[in-house]
Structure 1
Amino acid sequence: MTIRLLLADDQALVRGALAALLALEDDLEVVAQVGRGDEVVEAARTSRADVCLLDIEMPGLDGLAVAASLHEAGIGCRSLIVTTFGRPGYLRKALESGASGFVVKDTPATELADAVRRVHAGLRVVDPALAAESLAGAANPLTDRERDVLREALGGASVSDIAARVHLSGGTVRNHLSSAMGKLGGSTRVEAAHAAERQGWL
Protein backbone atom coordinates (compact mmCIF):
# COMPACT_ATOMS: atom_id res chain seq x y z
CA MET A 1 0.00 0.00 0.00
CA THR A 2 1.34 3.43 -0.94
CA ILE A 3 1.22 6.21 1.66
CA ARG A 4 0.30 9.53 0.05
CA LEU A 5 2.27 12.53 1.39
CA LEU A 6 1.74 16.28 1.44
CA LEU A 7 4.82 18.44 2.13
CA ALA A 8 4.27 21.87 3.70
CA ASP A 9 7.37 24.04 4.07
CA ASP A 10 7.97 27.63 3.00
CA GLN A 11 11.49 26.81 1.73
CA ALA A 12 11.30 25.28 -1.75
CA LEU A 13 14.78 23.78 -1.39
CA VAL A 14 13.78 21.92 1.78
CA ARG A 15 10.56 20.67 0.18
CA GLY A 16 12.52 19.43 -2.83
CA ALA A 17 15.09 17.65 -0.69
CA LEU A 18 12.39 15.98 1.42
CA ALA A 19 10.48 14.94 -1.70
CA ALA A 20 13.62 13.43 -3.25
CA LEU A 21 14.52 11.51 -0.10
CA LEU A 22 11.03 10.17 0.52
CA ALA A 23 10.59 9.20 -3.16
CA LEU A 24 13.37 6.64 -2.67
CA GLU A 25 10.98 4.63 -0.50
CA ASP A 26 8.79 2.21 -2.49
CA ASP A 27 5.74 2.70 -0.27
CA LEU A 28 5.80 6.52 -0.06
CA GLU A 29 4.54 8.97 -2.70
CA VAL A 30 4.61 12.77 -2.49
CA VAL A 31 1.28 13.84 -4.01
CA ALA A 32 1.32 17.58 -3.17
CA GLN A 33 3.57 20.37 -1.95
CA VAL A 34 2.67 23.80 -0.54
CA GLY A 35 4.69 26.73 0.80
CA ARG A 36 2.02 28.36 2.99
CA GLY A 37 0.23 27.12 6.07
CA ASP A 38 -3.15 28.43 4.97
CA GLU A 39 -3.01 26.24 1.83
CA VAL A 40 -2.53 22.94 3.66
CA VAL A 41 -6.08 21.82 4.49
CA GLU A 42 -7.37 22.38 0.96
CA ALA A 43 -4.29 20.68 -0.53
CA ALA A 44 -4.77 17.72 1.82
CA ARG A 45 -8.41 17.47 0.82
CA THR A 46 -7.83 17.63 -2.95
CA SER A 47 -4.75 15.39 -3.00
CA ARG A 48 -6.27 12.87 -0.58
CA ALA A 49 -2.97 12.83 1.32
CA ASP A 50 -2.61 10.34 4.18
CA VAL A 51 0.14 12.17 6.06
CA CYS A 52 1.19 15.83 5.96
CA LEU A 53 4.77 16.76 6.86
CA LEU A 54 4.55 20.23 8.39
CA ASP A 55 7.15 22.88 9.11
CA ILE A 56 6.34 25.14 12.08
CA GLU A 57 7.25 28.58 10.77
CA MET A 58 5.32 29.27 7.56
CA PRO A 59 3.48 32.31 6.18
CA GLY A 60 -0.31 32.33 6.33
CA LEU A 61 -0.63 29.93 9.26
CA ASP A 62 2.04 28.29 11.39
CA GLY A 63 2.42 24.51 11.47
CA LEU A 64 0.97 24.14 14.97
CA ALA A 65 -2.24 25.91 13.92
CA VAL A 66 -2.31 23.84 10.71
CA ALA A 67 -2.02 20.59 12.70
CA ALA A 68 -5.07 21.67 14.71
CA SER A 69 -6.97 22.60 11.53
CA LEU A 70 -6.19 19.25 9.90
CA HIS A 71 -7.30 17.44 13.04
CA GLU A 72 -10.57 19.40 13.16
CA ALA A 73 -11.21 19.02 9.41
CA GLY A 74 -11.74 15.29 9.85
CA ILE A 75 -10.39 14.41 6.40
CA GLY A 76 -8.19 11.56 7.59
CA CYS A 77 -4.85 13.29 6.97
CA ARG A 78 -2.49 12.90 9.91
CA SER A 79 0.22 15.46 10.59
CA LEU A 80 3.91 15.01 11.35
CA ILE A 81 5.83 18.14 12.39
CA VAL A 82 9.29 18.22 10.76
CA THR A 83 11.12 21.28 11.98
CA THR A 84 14.42 22.98 12.68
CA PHE A 85 12.91 24.30 15.89
CA GLY A 86 13.27 21.38 18.28
CA ARG A 87 11.94 23.13 21.38
CA PRO A 88 10.12 21.37 24.22
CA GLY A 89 7.38 24.02 24.28
CA TYR A 90 6.73 23.47 20.56
CA LEU A 91 6.57 19.71 21.11
CA ARG A 92 3.91 20.10 23.80
CA LYS A 93 1.92 22.54 21.65
CA ALA A 94 2.14 20.25 18.62
CA LEU A 95 0.81 17.23 20.48
CA GLU A 96 -1.94 19.32 22.08
CA SER A 97 -2.86 20.57 18.58
CA GLY A 98 -3.51 17.05 17.34
CA ALA A 99 -0.22 16.38 15.54
CA SER A 100 0.67 12.69 15.43
CA GLY A 101 4.42 13.21 15.53
CA PHE A 102 7.28 15.65 15.98
CA VAL A 103 10.80 15.20 14.57
CA VAL A 104 13.66 17.56 13.75
CA LYS A 105 14.97 18.18 10.22
CA ASP A 106 18.32 16.51 10.84
CA THR A 107 16.58 13.16 11.40
CA PRO A 108 18.17 10.55 9.08
CA ALA A 109 16.06 9.82 5.98
CA THR A 110 15.38 6.20 6.94
CA GLU A 111 14.13 7.29 10.38
CA LEU A 112 11.94 9.98 8.82
CA ALA A 113 10.40 7.42 6.45
CA ASP A 114 9.79 5.11 9.41
CA ALA A 115 8.20 7.98 11.34
CA VAL A 116 5.82 8.59 8.41
CA ARG A 117 4.82 4.92 8.38
CA ARG A 118 4.20 4.87 12.11
CA VAL A 119 2.11 8.05 11.99
CA HIS A 120 0.11 6.58 9.11
CA ALA A 121 -0.48 3.46 11.21
CA GLY A 122 -2.04 5.62 13.93
CA LEU A 123 0.95 5.71 16.26
CA ARG A 124 2.47 8.78 17.90
CA VAL A 125 6.10 9.53 17.03
CA VAL A 126 8.31 11.92 18.99
CA ASP A 127 12.02 12.66 18.62
CA PRO A 128 13.47 10.78 21.65
CA ALA A 129 16.00 13.44 22.71
CA LEU A 130 13.36 16.13 22.54
CA ALA A 131 10.86 14.00 24.47
CA ALA A 132 13.39 13.54 27.28
CA GLU A 133 14.14 17.27 27.34
CA SER A 134 10.44 18.07 27.37
CA LEU A 135 9.77 15.77 30.32
CA ALA A 136 12.69 17.32 32.21
CA GLY A 137 11.71 20.90 31.37
CA ALA A 138 9.39 23.07 33.37
CA ALA A 139 5.87 23.84 32.24
CA ASN A 140 5.20 27.26 30.72
CA PRO A 141 5.05 29.67 33.69
CA LEU A 142 3.59 32.57 31.69
CA THR A 143 -0.01 33.73 31.77
CA ASP A 144 -1.86 34.36 28.49
CA ARG A 145 -1.49 38.13 28.93
CA GLU A 146 2.24 37.83 29.68
CA ARG A 147 2.65 35.85 26.46
CA ASP A 148 0.69 38.50 24.55
CA VAL A 149 2.92 41.37 25.70
CA LEU A 150 6.14 39.36 25.23
CA ARG A 151 5.18 38.50 21.64
CA GLU A 152 4.88 42.22 20.93
CA ALA A 153 8.14 42.93 22.80
CA LEU A 154 10.09 40.51 20.58
CA GLY A 155 10.53 43.14 17.89
CA GLY A 156 11.53 45.82 20.39
CA ALA A 157 8.13 47.59 20.51
CA SER A 158 7.74 50.34 23.11
CA VAL A 159 5.38 49.97 26.08
CA SER A 160 2.91 52.42 24.48
CA ASP A 161 2.96 50.46 21.18
CA ILE A 162 2.45 47.18 23.02
CA ALA A 163 -0.41 48.70 25.02
CA ALA A 164 -2.15 49.84 21.83
CA ARG A 165 -1.75 46.46 20.14
CA VAL A 166 -3.01 44.34 23.04
CA HIS A 167 -5.66 46.87 24.16
CA LEU A 168 -4.31 47.38 27.70
CA SER A 169 -3.09 50.44 29.60
CA GLY A 170 0.61 51.21 29.70
CA GLY A 171 0.72 50.51 33.45
CA THR A 172 -0.87 47.10 33.01
CA VAL A 173 1.58 46.25 30.22
CA ARG A 174 4.50 47.26 32.48
CA ASN A 175 3.15 45.01 35.23
CA HIS A 176 2.84 42.02 32.87
CA LEU A 177 6.34 42.63 31.46
CA SER A 178 7.82 42.97 34.94
CA SER A 179 6.17 39.74 36.06
CA ALA A 180 7.35 37.87 32.94
CA MET A 181 10.89 39.21 33.32
CA GLY A 182 10.93 37.99 36.92
CA LYS A 183 9.84 34.51 35.84
CA LEU A 184 12.28 34.32 32.93
CA GLY A 185 15.29 36.07 34.44
CA GLY A 186 15.64 38.60 31.62
CA SER A 187 17.10 42.01 32.44
CA THR A 188 15.11 43.63 29.60
CA ARG A 189 11.74 42.87 28.08
CA VAL A 190 13.40 41.89 24.78
CA GLU A 191 15.73 39.43 26.57
CA ALA A 192 12.75 37.94 28.40
CA ALA A 193 10.81 37.65 25.13
CA HIS A 194 13.69 35.84 23.42
CA ALA A 195 14.09 33.50 26.42
CA ALA A 196 10.40 32.60 26.19
CA GLU A 197 10.65 32.11 22.43
CA ARG A 198 13.62 29.74 22.82
CA GLN A 199 11.52 27.62 25.15
CA GLY A 200 8.63 27.57 22.69
CA TRP A 201 6.39 29.38 25.20
CA LEU A 202 5.23 32.08 22.79
Structure 2
Amino acid sequence: MTTLLIADDQTMVREALAALLGMEPEFEVIAQCARGDEVLPAVRHRAPDVALLDVDMPGLDGLEVAAALAAEFSQVRVVIVTTYGRPGWVRRALDAGVSGFMVKDAPVERLADGIRRVMAGLQVVDSELIVESTVHGQSPLTERETEILRVAAGGGSVGEIASTLFISPGTVRNRLSAAIGKTDARNRADAVRIARDHGWL
Protein backbone atom coordinates (compact mmCIF):
# COMPACT_ATOMS: atom_id res chain seq x y z
CA MET A 1 0.00 0.00 0.00
CA THR A 2 1.34 3.44 -1.00
CA THR A 3 0.25 6.21 1.37
CA LEU A 4 -0.38 9.68 -0.02
CA LEU A 5 -0.56 13.24 1.27
CA ILE A 6 -2.34 15.77 -0.96
CA ALA A 7 -1.72 19.51 -0.53
CA ASP A 8 -3.84 21.95 -2.55
CA ASP A 9 -5.60 25.11 -1.41
CA GLN A 10 -8.58 24.44 -3.71
CA THR A 11 -10.85 22.21 -1.65
CA MET A 12 -12.77 20.78 -4.60
CA VAL A 13 -9.60 19.87 -6.49
CA ARG A 14 -7.95 18.37 -3.41
CA GLU A 15 -10.97 16.27 -2.48
CA ALA A 16 -11.52 15.14 -6.07
CA LEU A 17 -7.89 14.00 -6.32
CA ALA A 18 -8.22 12.20 -3.00
CA ALA A 19 -11.41 10.44 -4.11
CA LEU A 20 -10.05 9.42 -7.52
CA LEU A 21 -6.68 8.20 -6.23
CA GLY A 22 -8.40 6.48 -3.31
CA MET A 23 -10.21 4.28 -5.83
CA GLU A 24 -6.88 2.74 -6.82
CA PRO A 25 -6.44 -0.42 -4.70
CA GLU A 26 -2.78 0.20 -3.90
CA PHE A 27 -3.17 3.87 -2.80
CA GLU A 28 -4.41 5.26 0.50
CA VAL A 29 -4.79 9.02 1.04
CA ILE A 30 -3.86 9.52 4.69
CA ALA A 31 -3.58 13.33 4.87
CA GLN A 32 -4.87 16.46 3.14
CA CYS A 33 -3.53 20.00 3.53
CA ALA A 34 -4.96 23.32 2.35
CA ARG A 35 -1.78 25.33 3.02
CA GLY A 36 1.87 24.79 2.31
CA ASP A 37 2.88 25.41 5.91
CA GLU A 38 0.63 22.54 7.03
CA VAL A 39 2.57 19.94 5.04
CA LEU A 40 5.66 19.40 7.20
CA PRO A 41 3.65 18.94 10.44
CA ALA A 42 1.35 16.51 8.59
CA VAL A 43 4.34 14.56 7.26
CA ARG A 44 5.83 14.37 10.77
CA HIS A 45 2.53 13.06 12.10
CA ARG A 46 1.45 10.70 9.30
CA ALA A 47 4.68 9.77 7.42
CA PRO A 48 3.26 9.36 3.88
CA ASP A 49 5.20 7.65 1.12
CA VAL A 50 4.36 10.34 -1.44
CA ALA A 51 3.43 14.02 -1.09
CA LEU A 52 1.41 15.51 -3.97
CA LEU A 53 1.88 19.29 -3.88
CA ASP A 54 0.31 22.18 -5.74
CA VAL A 55 2.74 25.04 -6.40
CA ASP A 56 0.59 28.08 -5.65
CA MET A 57 -0.51 27.71 -2.01
CA PRO A 58 -0.72 30.10 0.96
CA GLY A 59 1.81 29.79 3.76
CA LEU A 60 4.58 28.19 1.70
CA ASP A 61 4.44 27.43 -2.01
CA GLY A 62 4.87 23.89 -3.22
CA LEU A 63 8.46 24.41 -4.34
CA GLU A 64 9.47 25.73 -0.92
CA VAL A 65 7.71 22.77 0.70
CA ALA A 66 9.49 20.37 -1.68
CA ALA A 67 12.89 21.80 -0.70
CA ALA A 68 12.01 21.56 3.01
CA LEU A 69 10.86 17.95 2.61
CA ALA A 70 14.06 17.04 0.77
CA ALA A 71 16.09 18.46 3.65
CA GLU A 72 14.12 16.83 6.49
CA PHE A 73 12.27 13.86 4.99
CA SER A 74 14.32 12.63 2.04
CA GLN A 75 12.44 9.30 2.11
CA VAL A 76 9.18 11.06 1.15
CA ARG A 77 8.81 11.25 -2.60
CA VAL A 78 7.40 14.55 -3.87
CA VAL A 79 5.26 15.01 -6.97
CA ILE A 80 4.24 18.52 -8.01
CA VAL A 81 0.70 18.51 -9.43
CA THR A 82 -0.28 21.95 -10.68
CA THR A 83 -2.52 23.79 -13.11
CA TYR A 84 0.38 25.67 -14.68
CA GLY A 85 3.40 23.95 -16.13
CA ARG A 86 5.63 27.01 -16.11
CA PRO A 87 9.14 26.11 -17.31
CA GLY A 88 10.88 27.94 -14.48
CA TRP A 89 8.85 25.94 -11.99
CA VAL A 90 10.00 22.68 -13.56
CA ARG A 91 13.65 23.64 -13.18
CA ARG A 92 13.17 24.87 -9.62
CA ALA A 93 11.25 21.71 -8.74
CA LEU A 94 13.95 19.44 -10.15
CA ASP A 95 16.61 21.48 -8.32
CA ALA A 96 14.58 20.94 -5.12
CA GLY A 97 14.78 17.19 -5.66
CA VAL A 98 11.18 16.39 -6.60
CA SER A 99 10.42 12.98 -8.06
CA GLY A 100 7.70 14.17 -10.41
CA PHE A 101 6.06 17.19 -12.01
CA MET A 102 2.63 16.76 -13.59
CA VAL A 103 -0.19 19.07 -14.69
CA LYS A 104 -3.70 18.78 -13.26
CA ASP A 105 -5.42 18.43 -16.61
CA ALA A 106 -3.71 15.07 -17.17
CA PRO A 107 -6.00 12.03 -16.80
CA VAL A 108 -5.98 10.56 -13.30
CA GLU A 109 -4.68 7.30 -14.79
CA ARG A 110 -1.53 9.14 -15.87
CA LEU A 111 -1.09 10.60 -12.39
CA ALA A 112 -1.60 7.19 -10.80
CA ASP A 113 0.94 5.68 -13.19
CA GLY A 114 3.33 8.53 -12.38
CA ILE A 115 3.03 7.79 -8.66
CA ARG A 116 3.77 4.11 -9.30
CA ARG A 117 6.85 5.01 -11.35
CA VAL A 118 8.03 7.43 -8.65
CA MET A 119 7.65 4.66 -6.06
CA ALA A 120 9.79 2.47 -8.33
CA GLY A 121 12.57 5.07 -8.05
CA LEU A 122 12.01 6.86 -11.35
CA GLN A 123 11.65 10.58 -12.01
CA VAL A 124 8.47 11.54 -13.86
CA VAL A 125 8.00 14.85 -15.71
CA ASP A 126 5.42 15.48 -18.43
CA SER A 127 7.34 15.47 -21.71
CA GLU A 128 5.82 18.77 -22.90
CA LEU A 129 7.12 20.48 -19.77
CA ILE A 130 10.65 19.22 -20.38
CA VAL A 131 10.57 20.75 -23.88
CA GLU A 132 9.19 24.06 -22.53
CA SER A 133 11.81 24.16 -19.80
CA THR A 134 14.60 23.58 -22.31
CA VAL A 135 13.29 26.25 -24.70
CA HIS A 136 12.88 28.95 -22.04
CA GLY A 137 16.08 28.10 -20.19
CA GLN A 138 17.05 29.02 -16.66
CA SER A 139 16.11 32.28 -15.00
CA PRO A 140 18.38 35.15 -16.11
CA LEU A 141 17.89 36.79 -12.69
CA THR A 142 20.41 36.64 -9.89
CA GLU A 143 19.32 35.45 -6.46
CA ARG A 144 19.24 39.06 -5.19
CA GLU A 145 17.25 40.31 -8.21
CA THR A 146 14.74 37.50 -7.69
CA GLU A 147 14.44 38.36 -3.99
CA ILE A 148 13.87 42.04 -4.75
CA LEU A 149 11.24 41.28 -7.40
CA ARG A 150 9.40 39.03 -4.93
CA VAL A 151 9.22 41.88 -2.43
CA ALA A 152 8.42 44.41 -5.17
CA ALA A 153 5.42 42.28 -6.14
CA GLY A 154 3.79 43.55 -2.93
CA GLY A 155 3.79 47.07 -4.36
CA GLY A 156 6.04 48.80 -1.82
CA SER A 157 8.25 51.80 -2.55
CA VAL A 158 11.99 51.48 -3.16
CA GLY A 159 12.57 52.61 0.43
CA GLU A 160 10.15 50.02 1.80
CA ILE A 161 11.76 47.24 -0.25
CA ALA A 162 15.20 48.34 0.98
CA SER A 163 13.99 48.37 4.59
CA THR A 164 12.44 44.91 4.25
CA LEU A 165 15.63 43.41 2.82
CA PHE A 166 18.08 45.47 4.94
CA ILE A 167 19.86 46.87 1.89
CA SER A 168 20.29 50.38 0.52
CA PRO A 169 17.69 52.05 -1.74
CA GLY A 170 20.45 52.45 -4.35
CA THR A 171 20.98 48.69 -4.42
CA VAL A 172 17.24 48.16 -4.84
CA ARG A 173 17.08 50.63 -7.75
CA ASN A 174 20.11 49.05 -9.45
CA ARG A 175 18.82 45.48 -9.07
CA LEU A 176 15.31 46.42 -10.21
CA SER A 177 16.78 48.12 -13.26
CA ALA A 178 18.85 45.01 -14.03
CA ALA A 179 15.81 42.76 -13.60
CA ILE A 180 13.71 44.96 -15.89
CA GLY A 181 16.43 44.79 -18.53
CA LYS A 182 16.93 41.04 -18.27
CA THR A 183 13.20 40.33 -18.59
CA ASP A 184 12.68 42.88 -21.42
CA ALA A 185 10.02 44.48 -19.24
CA ARG A 186 8.57 48.01 -19.46
CA ASN A 187 8.67 48.61 -15.71
CA ARG A 188 9.01 46.74 -12.45
CA ALA A 189 5.37 45.58 -12.40
CA ASP A 190 5.88 44.14 -15.88
CA ALA A 191 9.13 42.49 -14.73
CA VAL A 192 7.25 40.86 -11.83
CA ARG A 193 4.54 39.62 -14.23
CA ILE A 194 7.05 38.20 -16.73
CA ALA A 195 9.11 36.51 -14.01
CA ARG A 196 5.96 34.97 -12.50
CA ASP A 197 4.73 33.79 -15.90
CA HIS A 198 8.04 31.97 -16.42
CA GLY A 199 8.01 30.51 -12.92
CA TRP A 200 11.16 32.38 -11.85
CA LEU A 201 9.60 33.81 -8.67
Tell me the TM-score normalized by structure 2: 0.94
CA contact (8 A) 1:140 1:201 kept: yes
The DSSP-based 3-state class of the residue aligned with 1:133 is helix
The alpha carbon displacement at 1:34 in A equals: 1.4
The alpha carbon displacement at 1:44 in A equals: 2.2
The alpha carbon displacement at 1:4 in A equals: 1.0
Give RMSD over aligned pairs.
1.4
CA distance in 1, matches of 2:158, 2:41: 39
CA distance in 1, matches of 2:198, 2:83: 14
Number of residues of Structure 1 aligned to a counterpart in Structure 2: 201
Partner in structure 2 of residue 191 of structure 1: 190
Partner in structure 2 of residue 100 of structure 1: 99
Q: 1:184 to 1:20 in 2, by over 3 A?
A: same
The alpha carbon displacement at 1:74 in A equals: 3.3
Partner in structure 2 of residue 73 of structure 1: 72
Q: 1:76 to 1:87 in 2, by over 3 A?
A: same
1:1-202 alignment runs, 5 A limit: 2-74=1-73, 76-202=75-201
Gaps of 5+ in 2: none
The alpha carbon displacement at 1:45 in A equals: 3.3
CA contact (8 A) 1:81 1:102 kept: yes
Q: 1:146 to 1:48 in 2, by over 3 A?
A: closer
The alpha carbon displacement at 1:75 in A equals: 6.0
CA contact (8 A) 2:91 2:138 kept: no
CA distance in 1, matches of 2:98, 2:4: 15
The alpha carbon displacement at 1:136 in A equals: 1.5
The DSSP-based 3-state class of the residue aligned with 2:65 is helix
The alpha carbon displacement at 1:26 in A equals: 1.6
The alpha carbon displacement at 1:35 in A equals: 1.4
State percent identity of aligned pairs: 54
Q: 1:44 to 1:182 in 2, by over 3 A?
A: same
CA contact (8 A) 2:148 2:161 kept: yes
CA contact (8 A) 1:155 1:190 kept: no
Q: Which consecutive segments of 4 or more residues in structure 1 shift more than 4 A?
A: none
Question: 1:31-62 deviations in whole A, cap 9, x for unaligned?
Answer: 11111222222322332311110111222222
CA contact (8 A) 1:3 1:50 kept: yes
Gaps of 5+ in 1: none
CA distance in 1, matches of 2:74, 2:138: 32
